[in-house]
Structure 1
Amino acid sequence: MFWMYMLRCADGSFYLGHTDDIERRLDQHHAGQHPCYTRDRRPVELVFSQEFPTREEALVAERQIKGWSRAKKQALTEGDWSRISRLARGKHRHER
């Protein structure tokens, strides 16, 4: 199994990634051992994750959500599917 995950960084930004071992990857992010965007933006908080049967599916989901607006990502962290739908249709595009 593979995971697509989203972290909220200390500066309020979001980071998306995928992995086959979410606990190990989160430990790496928390310790600053994963050489990426989060290293200088700790602490980080896991705000969303979803399991997928293949790495390819997890990567497709990661890339899709990376292209979303900040408002849409925030709605995902809140589980607000109706807001995600509205934002996807282009209404309230500047919603924060």
Structure 2
Amino acid sequence: MSWAEEDWTVGLPGRALQKVKELQVQQERLNRERQQKQLQLDSTQTSLNKQTVKYEEVRGELQCVQRELQGAREEVQAGVCVRERLSQDLQVKQTQV
């Protein structure tokens, strides 16, 4: 560690120095683990953001396609109504003839 950290350990018994070194090693390990987990969290957050953007894009496309489908259904229904009316008109004219 740095000289400032070593100064406070001067004069400690050997057992205490060993424990301090063990705790310093453990702290360094925990710091590395924390940094690694933070990187994983950041990566996961970035991935989530990308997936959210994709989801919103697909959702928008789906809404557009649903509107188009509804419009097509309405056109088909109108066509069916026209066909039925023309069919009825034709039957009426055939019976008149």
Coarse TM-score class (shorter-chain normalised): under 0.3
TM-score by length of 1: 0.22
Q: Which has the higher strand share?
A: 1
TM-score by length of 2: 0.22
Whose RCO is larger (CA < 8 A, sep 6+)? 1
